[in-house]
Structure 1
Amino acid sequence: GGQTSRWVDEEFRTLRMAIDVASYDANELAENMKTIEQTCAELFPQADCHLIGAAVQFAELNNKIVFGELYSFLTSLAAIAILMMLVFGSVRMGLIGLIPNIFPVIVIGAIMGYLGISLDMMTMAIMPMILGIAVDDTIHFTNHTKYLFDKEQSYDRAIFETFYSIGKTLAMTTIILSATFLVYLTCKIDAILRLGVLAAVGLVSALAADYLMTPILIYMTKPFSANKR
């Protein structure tokens, strides 16, 4: 009938199919696209299948952004380790700086896995952001400890005085940043709400790592020089 002209061209060589999707997950949609392409190849081996539309573009864009942010995160992690090795003149110091900064990312990933939160362009943006904030506190703590160690020549006194001098400052900055992200709790968009909660959790876990892991690693490895007292 006349309705076929909406889907098939005059030469009956091209067929167009439109499917409305009320809601979709980017990762699930990418898997469905592969299934559709495989099914078309099996049913119509001599035909070419092309998938277009807003949902398809979103899925492709989401995958590119997620893998791009993952690559930038790993690159930033390697760059931070190298720069800390150069600044402090110690390979151990560079490796020590990585451990507290990886910890909040592991915590966020564990929470996302437990709650079933998908890794998309919004949640993936948290990891590089948390890394940038966490490494700032790590550098402050490590640099102040090294400065005090050069004066006191004692790891015990250097770590204790570092807590006494900048411990409250690190806590206040973390509280302020976490409270800022928790404002997103009032948002009705689930993706932005998850961003605020996960970012706040990541900041608190980064502070806990700088309080607990960094001083222990410095005390155990003694990366600056031999303890004279």
Structure 2
Amino acid sequence: MGLLGWSGHYLSNITVGVPMLLLTLAVADCVHIITGYIHGLHRGKSQKEAIAYTLELNFIALLVTSVTTSFGFLMMNASVSPVLVDFGNLAAVGVMIAFVLSITLLPALLAIMPVKVTATNMEVDDQSMLSLAEWVIAHHRKILPFSALIVLLGAVLMMQNQLNDELVKYFNEGSEYREDADFFENQVGNTTLSITFDTQQDQGITKVEFLKTLDTLTEWLYEQPETNHVSSIVDVMRRLNKNFNGDQPEYYRIPDTDELAAQYLLMYEMSLPYGLDMNSRIDIGKSAVRVTVIMKSLGSQEMIAMEERIRDWMAVNAPQYNYTITDLAVMFAHIGATNMASMLVTLPLALLVISSLLILALRSWRLGIISLIPNCSPIIVGFGIWFLISGEINLAVSVVISMTLGIVVDDSVHFLSKYRTARMSGKSPEDAIRYAFVTVGRALWVTTVVLATGFSILATSEFVPNSSLGLLSGVVIVIALLGDFFMLPAILLLTDRKVYQKKVQKHPERQYE
């Protein structure tokens, strides 16, 4: 598979993950609707009443979580890769479609399908969630500093990750492509870098001054430890000069005059068989030439370092010539770094928008600000764990921040919406925590299992970017649930002690007792 074909295969592998991702997110929405529906049936409601109950209970939370998830995907528009932009836009639209179907088609199906519920199972679930709530309430003063320590440790480890993409290692060892690439690597080298010189004058590449500069660069490139071979026009000029001088070894050098170099090149081009011209190496006006360096497989950091050394050499030895450094490996080396930088630039905007949405949805600036802590912590801890797993951030991993930021908000929104409902009915923070655990705790861990399982399936891919994306996303989502079950209640119990303006509770049966 050529490099161009490989890049197309890589990009198609990224986009093929969208259906699986949307299926997982859609199931998560449905879990909340169905859980609320069954909860209503256990409270003695009819099917229609239970459907109305679950929609009223979950509509705002599902709307906010869908919008924040979509916005997280839309953050990918800051990426320099058009494919990642399309991935984000497609996923954002799909998430909103899933939301619409979960509040329209799913309730309609529930209305016509008979459902049997077992009160004993619900009571057991309620009691287990209530027991967890009691434990968190009893130990919240210990949980918070322990959580802060974990986040701090995660931040330290996260900073140790290195941006590095090595194209060959995008496929696991044992795959057909990897075996072929490793064989080629051992024989020749499978990473190329192209330097295009533009002399800005016709026949400029046949000037002896230019050829000597190119010859010096070629020798310097051969001295670099990464280089296996350099394809340059100076090799042709040296060989021709030797051939036209009786094959004497001392003439294996650049021709002495511009005219001689031009004649050698013309005769060489005229002698080439049809289809083997030099248009791939020099332009028709003989003003520009391309030098190709074949190297061993390099990571993105090594490739960027090699590029910088070439630029430094050019600045000192050939400042009079225009040049460009290109190739697929160079492009991917810069995409990863640029993509991560663009994600970090848009991160403050995303946090501002998401926190604003949470403040509006929860109608409380205090809860909106508090929610940022458990929403940001999973990403920090997740990337800290990633340092222990891999330590390298490739192109796919660089989009995890934007992709998961909107997803991890979901649990916080559902938990805080139920917490606020209880607080507005006059409950204390402790009772509100109990209420939130009983009403939404079961749905949260079920959706987390669904999401983590979906991403874990992606993690089994032989294509390393997809497996890295799935594994890290699954880790972040699991950590998000732990944060919402332990860190968030502890923060609320310590900071949200004010008395809420009591409102009449429309559904007094929504009690944990």
TM-score under structure 2 length normalisation: 0.41
Runs of 4+, deviation exceeding 6 Å:
8-13
Change (3 A) 1:157 1:22: same
The one-letter code of the counterpart of 2:412 is T
Change (3 A) 1:8 1:128: closer
The answer to which of 2-11 and 90-99 deviates more is: 2-11
The answer to which of 175-184 and 91-100 deviates more is: 91-100
Residue from 346, 351, 355 that aligns with 1:77: 351
Cα offset for 1:167? 0.6
- Cα distance in 2, alignment partners of residues 49 and 223 from structure 1: 65
The answer to which of 169-178 and 75-84 deviates more is: 75-84
2:335 is aligned to 61
RMSD over aligned Cα, in angstroms? Answer: 2.7
Structure 1 segment 5-44 matched on structure 2, within 5 A: 14-21=288-295, 23-44=297-318
- Cα distance in 2, alignment partners of residues 146 and 11 from structure 1: 74
The 3-state SS of whatever aligns with 2:462 is coil
1:49 is aligned to 323
1:182 is aligned to 456
Cα offset for 1:34? 1.8
Q: Is the 8 A contact 1:104 1:206 kept in 2?
A: yes
Cα offset for 1:42? 1.7
> 1:67-108 CA deviation, whole Å, 9 max, x = no partner?
222233332112122232344344332221100011111112
Cα offset for 1:135? 0.5
Structure 1 segment 114-193 matched on structure 2, within 5 A: 114-193=388-467
**Which structure dedicates a bigger proportion of its chain to strand?**
2
The 3-state SS of whatever aligns with 1:50 is strand
Change (3 A) 1:9 1:87: closer
Q: Is the 8 A contact 2:423 2:500 kept in 1?
A: no
Does 2:403 align with 1:96? no
TM-score under structure 1 length normalisation: 0.86
> 1:11-48 CA deviation, whole Å, 9 max, x = no partner?
98645210234533223322322221112212223222
- Cα distance in 1, alignment partners of residues 476 and 296 from structure 2: 32
The one-letter code of the counterpart of 1:78 is L
Change (3 A) 1:147 1:79: same
Aligned residue-pair number: 228
The 3-state SS of whatever aligns with 1:16 is strand
The one-letter code of the counterpart of 2:499 is S
Q: Is the 8 A contact 2:459 2:470 kept in 1?
A: yes
Q: Is the 8 A contact 1:152 1:158 kept in 2?
A: no
The 3-state SS of whatever aligns with 1:109 is helix
Q: Which has the larger radius of gyration?
A: 2
Q: Percent identity?
A: 27
The one-letter code of the counterpart of 1:66 is M
Change (3 A) 1:169 1:224: farther
Gaps of 5+ in 2: 1-233, 238-264, 266-277, 503-513
Change (3 A) 1:36 1:115: farther
Cα offset for 1:127? 1.4
- Cα distance in 2, alignment partners of residues 95 and 109 from structure 1: 23
Residue from 236, 244, 256 that aligns with 1:3: 236
**Which structure dedicates a bigger proportion of its chain to helix?**
1
Q: Is the 8 A contact 1:108 1:198 kept in 2?
A: yes
Change (3 A) 1:134 1:227: same
Q: Is the 8 A contact 2:362 2:416 kept in 1?
A: no
The 3-state SS of whatever aligns with 1:141 is helix
The one-letter code of the counterpart of 2:442 is K
Cα offset for 1:155? 1.2
The 3-state SS of whatever aligns with 2:323 is coil
Does 2:447 align with 1:214? no
- Cα distance in 2, alignment partners of residues 14 and 151 from structure 1: 77
Gaps of 5+ in 1: none
- Cα distance in 2, alignment partners of residues 9 and 2 from structure 1: 18
Q: Which has the higher contact order (CA 8 A, sep 6+)?
A: 2
The 3-state SS of whatever aligns with 1:125 is helix
- Cα distance in 1, alignment partners of residues 428 and 283 from structure 2: 83
- Cα distance in 1, alignment partners of residues 420 and 364 from structure 2: 12
The one-letter code of the counterpart of 1:35 is R
- Cα distance in 1, alignment partners of residues 371 and 403 from structure 2: 17
Cα offset for 1:226? 5.4
